[in-house]
A = this chain, B = another copy of it.
């Protein structure tokens, strides 16, 4: 990523951020992980209209851009859990401003 603080670089960062949060369901997934880590099945049940296939895709994308972390819990039964990284948590906090807007204006 171009680190220099130039007009062009900054707008690329904004566009990149808006591409990340623009993907359907991403913001809601981040919203649900903000308070605590969750298992795939828990997230899937919280967003009924989101298919398992799309949720799998979104989780992979979010993992790839360092917004969520997948951990394997080894004690029986072995299971995996998703949590926000610091980067993801900070995005979640920023998105809460959009949610406050929504509660007021929609």
Q: Which residues of A contact B (CB under 8 A)?
A: 1, 5, 10-11, 13-19, 21-24, 27-28, 31, 87, 90-91, 93-95, 97-106
Contacts and interface: CB of A to CB of B under 8 A. Distances in A.
A91 B99 CA distance: 10
B101 A17 contact: yes
Q: Specify how many copies of this chain sit in the oligomer.
A: 2
The binding surface of chain A is classed by DSSP as helix
B102 A16 contact: yes
Given A24-B22, A87-B105, A106-B1, A14 B99 contact: yes
Contacts of A22: 21-24, 27
B17 A106 contact: yes
18 contacts: A13-B103, A14-B28, A14-B102, A16-B106, A17-B101, A18-B27, A18-B98, A19-B24, A21-B22, A22-B24, A22-B27, A87-B105, A90-B105, A93-B97, A94-B98, A94-B101, A95-B97, A97-B97
Contacts of A17: 98-99, 101-102, 106
